[in-house]
Structure 1
């Protein structure tokens, strides 16, 4: 936007007015820009008086980048602390460098500098010796700020002994090294000690060390576990103890690893897997390997660093033949374990493959069973079989000689229950191939029926109809919820709950609710009464069978009842008369046989 003010100054006072007017325009624009905090736009504003002032703000929505340069450790006296900071848009306004005692306390400003390199002098004699964290905080000209990750150093302005960390996980012979800061020219002897982590009970690992105060820790003499380490320096009658190096895990125990049998024959893309665990440092990686039978040359199928330790591998990249497979696990400490080999597994990519098509979770009536089969040789037949889950007795359903390989199965000829399926391919040449077993299917030819009805007191008075009371209706299978009420998916649905004497029914505006009716056995009201309510559906699994449960919750009473609601004190068992309009996922209508409330008799609601 460009706006021009034209004046004709006739004297010095008029010229002053022009300059003041321009200044006011600039201030107004600056205030408008500042209203939303540290943001800029690319808009330009121009005003013209006796002179022209132009303001343009550059876009900057990105905070600066800042890192703290790690100082040496330990530090003595005055040291230079440096941070690197940049901002690609508005530029760095300033960098503040701060310090605090390691891991605790508030941050103290060492300096604030606006000029690169962003560094300042830290007089460490102003703080007690010890370990400190140092960080940097950068602010750009748009007002955004970023705080760096802190770095750690030790201040040693008096004599101090420092034990270098050998690492978080160690095994075998571990080099240990200590150093003495500000020794004052004195001669020291150093002892390096260990303690079970947190116990503060110290045992010598190396004693009488002279400069350069190093030794080898034979960890095989220690129990696997976590230890604290420290160094103790002595000169004359003076003793100096280092800061504790905590939680060093000794792990000389190799991981456990087992190669999963990939099966045989192997063809196409197959999954190879292993299981592995480690009690101390944890698994670093697991390599799955193969070798041609008779060869000691192992090749890597894949390497995994996290569970599951498995990968898909195209066996067609291997020459046909007999192979062995194994897994090699390495833990974080470096211990390596090789699994037992799974031997004599045939890779044959010239033979057929066959897979059974999953027929579905619930089977009723006559269903289609199908298999997919391929072979480099002509396919003679594909045989489809079933077995009761958990058994090894397989029964033929059909043998198909042409693709697509499928046949009908009359499930009414078998007992209801869980079944497995497989397919067997017979090629014109070569051995037969059996598919993987497909599990998880259940034959359910019993009619859809209600199995239970329950009432739960959700209000303040047992035996009295009131807000919060609820009822649950359960069927023996999953329902087509749209058959309960049109378009319903099981989500929260507003309904009306009608009670007349002993009878309870559910309805809703704009459509029916096919839940049937409930005989409450006892009279809860002398007059008809109506409550608002909500209805939701959920799925529960009982004995491997998914069932639908519908819950109705009473809301506020909307009509009837008056002061004539009864408080029932005599326990009873309700009787539910399900609606025959409801259907299951296979379209079977529900039985209208009455369902008596299960469990001990109680006072409803």
Structure 2
């Protein structure tokens, strides 16, 4: 919702029984208003949340330190800023202070806390009641003798640099060693020993069996040993992926799909780069970079000069191992002839726009769009467009829900025609109740990693009967279990980890989310204790139901979590067991996360 101003007093009468409040900042989502039933509403002149950022303190702190934040609001002004910390292993943020005047700062007494890594954040609220949470920053509290081993990463290969920090050793005579053990065992072996400042060494992983390992550092002073926290489940992977370039065909013209197959049994494929090389030079250049399955991309071959080319793919796993496919050569790009390809939206609901890319050496006279029942041969015209960009509006409510094929027919100025490849299996779904969006918000310690404090929000197209989500549920806060499973557990790729919701003694009918990234290590399962609540949002005058899950503590599988660096759009498949207030079942059509593609959690 965009902000607005009026030079005169603005008064709105909203529906009795609605109250306007702010929602949490969801990843990639625009601000919407939530509603609850019990109060009269007046309109606020301020629709824009404040801005806030926490000034990062030193990497290591002790005793009492000042923690500061900056906050601003160009409309009603900042009401207050709350500075909070998250203790190691905790699931709840603790307030350090609330400051109502700039500069916003707190005196943080760390002497009463245990040593270890802490997360800090600031929450700013403006005078209209809208709130924004800053990005999380980290620091280490060290008031006593403290040793910390820096994590080398979730997945490593070859020779791995290791770094240890020691705090408050003073004049104490000591040495440091670093150890490893098979993940979950207590059989510790030495990587390096007798280290003195700056406490660094190299871990040669090439002699190890691929798998997960725990690491720790030990400070030795005489007969006394002080241990660091264990860095758990570091994946050792020295095996490169397997990648094959698919034949794109020849001749190539118009919009074409370039595909590969890529697998990795260790840390998982992180990205695939498809390259092309003109036969005249043999020098490869990037055609596209893909960070999620399927390992394919659509590219307009008109961006390449007509000629003969070779194509290949390079796959890189999470540990940094790379493999290059064999090249597919002698493929001709020729856009001097007519070409046309049809582009179909991912969701066919209501009125949608179907597009086409078309070119012809003689000039394009028109592009005609057609559809047919999937697999059928009776084609029906949608429209004919005579000017670029070629597109057609399709009111999908005029056809029955189901699967459809679409194609485009180009006619050049000489009267010759060419028909595009068929885009098959597009689903039309105009169910009264459907999922419209799924979003996550990072409220935990680490961006790109599932943490306590993170939230997942499901949004429906209208209000739902909450008793059909969980039997007897009113929408009030209740406990649930959020389960994350590696894609391999479900016989999918490791880049297609799944999220679903469970509850003791009850089925939770929220369907499942394909996270489209690798948040859980190979064949792993992680379960979080969670809190589930229902609410409503008003979008375009329509009241919609939301269900939000807030992750609490890890119930099981904490060592199987991974931190994701690449962005992806989640896909939610709702459950048909949920109904609207009239008892109509929810569509099971897949819902792709809206907004800018980002890292979840």
TM range (shorter): 0.3 to 0.5
TM-score normalised to the size of structure 2?
Answer: 0.47
TM-score normalised to the size of structure 1?
Answer: 0.47
Q: Which has the higher contact order (CA 8 A, sep 6+)?
A: 2
